[in-house]
Amino acid sequence: MNATETTRPAAFAAPMAGTPLLEAVDVTKSFTQDGTPTQALKGVSLSVAPGEFVSIVGRSGSGKSTFLSVLSTLLRPDSGQLTYNGQDLTRATEAEVNALRHGDFAVIFQFHYLLPYLTALENTLLPFMRGLRPVSGAQRRRALECLERVGLADKGHRLPGQLSGGEQQRVAIARALVKDARVLFADEPTGSLDSATGATVMELLSQIHKDGLSVVMVTHNEQYASLSDRVVRMTDGLMA
């Protein structure tokens, strides 16, 4: 195992030929607020092939971000099935799901969620900072490579407050790339950026996808969605 690899459950260790990399079947999810239940997902299905870039498009409140949270295992579905590499995640233990999320999955959000007291390099290294284990030289080199990949090789020493919004989002992308994930989930990654900066971030995501990473992105921007391999649409908790 090299410095950038993480321990993965054996069931998730290698892609299986002929099976979708990620698949959701009839997934439902409800929330209760002020005693009133709301069904955000009403039986949603999606299959993602290895190396595919899929965009999920829909208006605010359509359920697309909730669906992305289920796909990325940040939320457990109420019913339905979610499989990764042919393995049923709805039956996986919490430890297995956590290991998968730490190893194979990476998520970036509309807001970067950088720690303000850590430098860009230290924020990029966060996926390696588990427990009391120190960061290795190889992991540090990997983080520097990822910062270079997103065009921030000369700004690793800066705090988030010393970076522009677009630069902060690129640090978040570097942080997602540093652990060598297989699937990148992006929830409105350009939503808080101006059009020029958003286009730069989308160009970076497109290049990452061309290098072989599977990408599932939620967006309301039709132009950005058109850069993906496939666009699916959601309305009122269902695929349109």
Q: For residue 59, what pLDDT band results from cuts at 50, 70 and 90?
A: confident
* 1 within some domain: no
User: Is 2 part of any domain?
Assistant: no
Residue 65 phi, psi dihedral angles, 5° rounding? -70, -35
- Distances in whole angstroms, Cα of residue 166 to Cα of each of 113, 119, 120, 140, 213: 13, 16, 13, 23, 22
List CB contacts of 148: < 8 A, sequence separation 6 or more.
none
Q: Are 74 and 153 in contact (CB under 8 A)?
A: no
- Identify which of 145, 140, 113 has the alpha carbon closest to the alpha carbon of residue 129: 140
Residues paired with 88 in a beta bridge: 83
The number of domains in the chain is 1
DSSP secondary structure of 219-232: ES-HHHHTTSSEEE
**Would 72 be classed as within a structural domain?**
yes
3 pLDDT tier (thresholds 50, 70, 90): very low
Please indicate, yes or no, if residue 215 is contained in any of the structural domains.
yes
pLDDT tens-digit series, residues 14-57: 555 667 899 999 999 998 877 788 899 999 999 999 999 999 99
156 lies in some domain: yes
Coil, strand or helix at 83: strand
Domain hosting 77: range is 19-239
Name the strands in the sheet holding 214-219, side by side, starting at the edge strand that comes first in the sequence. Answer: 105-108, 183-187, 214-219, 53-57, 230-235, 238-239
CATH number for the domain including 160? 3.40.50.300
pLDDT band at 202 (very low <50, low <70, confident <90, very high): confident
Mention every residue, 6+ apart, whose C-beta is less than 8 A from residue 65: 187, 188, 218
Confidence of residue 197 (pLDDT cuts 50, 70, 90): confident
Amino acid identity, residue 94?
E
